[in-house]
Chain A
Amino acid sequence: MDKKKEQNLKVFAARIRLETARMVCNLGFGHLGGALSVVDALAVLYGDVMRFDAENPTWEDRDLLVMSKGHAGPSLYATLAMKNFFPMEWLDTLNCPGTRLPSHCDRNLTPGVDMTTGSLGQGTSTAVGMALGKKLDGKTNRVFLFVGDGECNEGQVWEAAMFAAQHKLDNMIWLIDLNGKQLDGKLSDVIDLRDIRQKFEDFGFAAVSIDGHDVVAIRDAIDSVGSVKDKPGCIVLNTVKGKGVPYVENIELNHHLRFTPEQIEKIMCEAEEGLRNAEKEACGD
């Protein structure tokens, strides 16, 4: 990837972070930690990889994305708004009465959201069904699936994984957000995943493990696992829950947070600083 593109993706990611923080802070509470950890992968997918038409969000030939960790809705909404799927003003309505942007992703409400999620585990099977359907139709659409590491506790994830490998669904890529935490804290204190990349490889995937905040590594990984024939792809994203907002990163139990006005100011300052730094890097070149 050329330097310019890399810098642009970094700026895009920093913007998504800032908008995500703004949405959650507007409300005063939410799943900010888990929304922030997937941002760099979202930036690469929507900024450089996926085929879509924001004017026609249900275009048949689009690539599909399932956010199975549905509580990361806010960062997906910020991404979609910046890609013109709907007006930026909608971001102010997160979780408000009658909103089209609910805490958890809902395909019936939000343009660009391809599947309803929120009950962990279920997004995996639905994504597999989409990939199977497109494959049976002889189409070239790809399906991208985000799965939480805690979410991998659900047996359904592994049922879906076995099926995807059995049916050689090489038109889908699973992105496992390995931020090392679930709701009750560290995975190692709740249900340890051990070597998650190895598990997916053993389940029949082309699987790699990378720095989930490195846009170049993400792009390269998509190309590498995506080009393996007859195997679904799996990218283990080594991430930090709350990434980009040090204040949130440093809270031990940072799954669902409620913020005071002082904390909100701090969070917004840090997210703004993140964007300034990304922009500075882009300009300095």
Chain B
Amino acid sequence: MIKIIYDGTAETTSHKEVFANTIESLMNEDDRVIFLDADLMNSSGMYKLWKEKPERVINCGVAEANMMGIAAGLSAVGRTPYVHTFGPFASRRCFDQVFLSIGYAGNSVRIYGSDAGVTAEFNGGTHMPFEDMTLMRAIPGAHVFDLADGVQFESVIRAVKDLPGVTYMRSTRKQYRKIYEKGSAFEIGKGCLLNEGTDISIIACGLMVSEAMLAADLLKDEGISAEVIDMFTVKPIDKDLIVKTAKKTGAVVTSENHNVIGGLGDAVAACLMEENVAVPFRKHGVQDLFGQVGPINYLKEVYGLTAKALAETCKKVLKEKKQ
């Protein structure tokens, strides 16, 4: 059951607190749960627990590829590893270890790649992952999530505990806007309908979910009724919901804090094509660019990750619908 409490205000708890608290409680519930980080305990919120439980919280140092291999080995001997590092270092820095030692070798590891997309802010281009979902989606059987708020994050951290293979969760370490009421439980493979509409569907994930809600408000002022869907479950994706909404509104725009190559937009497009649903369509997101340094609001403007830019994209698509 999920309950929507979106009102445009920010969350009060940071996602790193959510992460640390949830991992701690999972450790209390299940002896097999073990956590690894790569010299970012002080960034992931796990520093205190590392000092308290050194046999359950392991610091691998600045060695992400090594960490993924160690997590794979721990899985092979019956542990349930969760690991964290910044998104780029959790994906592109050690992709072969994730792909082979975890995925191909049949091990199971849950990865939190933090500082999704522009939320890497002042760490700049080297630290700004716009391609992590593309990489992770390409691993057979992998589960990929881009979380929209802390409530959803907590539910997913719990839900993936016993999943096989590679699981990748991306989010900010700070706060987004609040979307869901505490205690809401999410189902893997099922997107969430946040706002009913009739003219166009916005399918968003992560940071862009609340921007999509704002965009729907902007469009409403112009007499346009936008349906908004939170597709946090980028893989497996909710094909039924995508087809249903596309047939209902007849126009689709996807929105992601990620490169439009290989992310949510491509996943939704493939769904629509394979189900023979031909509607006007656009991928709203980072248009094949590298990251850069700056405050979040500046970066959102630069890459067009704002409600305003999203609403503009929707209006363009709607024009095509009318023709």
Contact = CB atoms under 8 A, between A and B. Distances in A.
Interface residues of B, number: 29
Contacts of B65: 155
Contacts of B125: 102, 104, 106, 118
Interface stretch (A93-101, A124-132, A228-236, A267-275): A93-101
B42 A183 contact: yes
Contact of A119 (B50, B61, B126, B294): B126
Interface string A102-146: 111010000000001111110000000000000000000000000
Contact of B62 (A98, A116, A118, A150): A150
Looking at chain B's contact residues, the main secondary structure is: helix
Contacts of B241: none
Interface string A175-196: 0000000111100011100000
A217 interface: no
A244 interface: no
Given A182-B62, A190-B61, A102 B124 contact: yes
A2 B50 CA distance: 50
Contact of A95 (B37, B42, B89, B293): B293
A253 interface: yes
A155 B293 contact: no
State which size class the interface on A falls in. Answer: 20 to 34
A70 B123 CA distance: 10
A202 to B, nearest CB: 20
Determine which residue in B37, B42, B295 has the highest number of CB atoms from chain A within 10 A of its CB, and name it.
Answer: B42
Interface string B43-66: 100010010000000011111011
A24 to B, nearest CB: 11
B124 A151 contact: no
B217 to A, nearest CB: 27
B88 interface: yes
A103 B122 CA distance: 7
A253 B39 CA distance: 12
B123 A151 contact: no
Interface string A70-110: 10000000000000000000000001111100111010000
B124 A103 contact: yes
B258 interface: no
A182 B61 contact: yes
A238 interface: no
Contacts of B93: 119
B124 A119 contact: no
B293 A99 contact: yes
25 contacts: A27-B122, A95-B124, A98-B294, A102-B124, A102-B125, A103-B122, A103-B123, A103-B293, A104-B123, A104-B125, A118-B123, A118-B125, A118-B126, A119-B126, A150-B39, A153-B66, A155-B63, A155-B65, A155-B66, A182-B39, A183-B39, A184-B47, A184-B59, A191-B59, A191-B61
In the A-B complex, the 8 residue pairs with the smallest Cβ-Cβ separation, listed nearest first, are A118-B126, A191-B61, A153-B61, A102-B293, A153-B62, A97-B298, A102-B124, A153-B63
Interface of A: 27, 29-30, 70, 95-99, 102-104, 106, 116-121, 150-151, 153-155, 182-185, 189-191, 253, 255
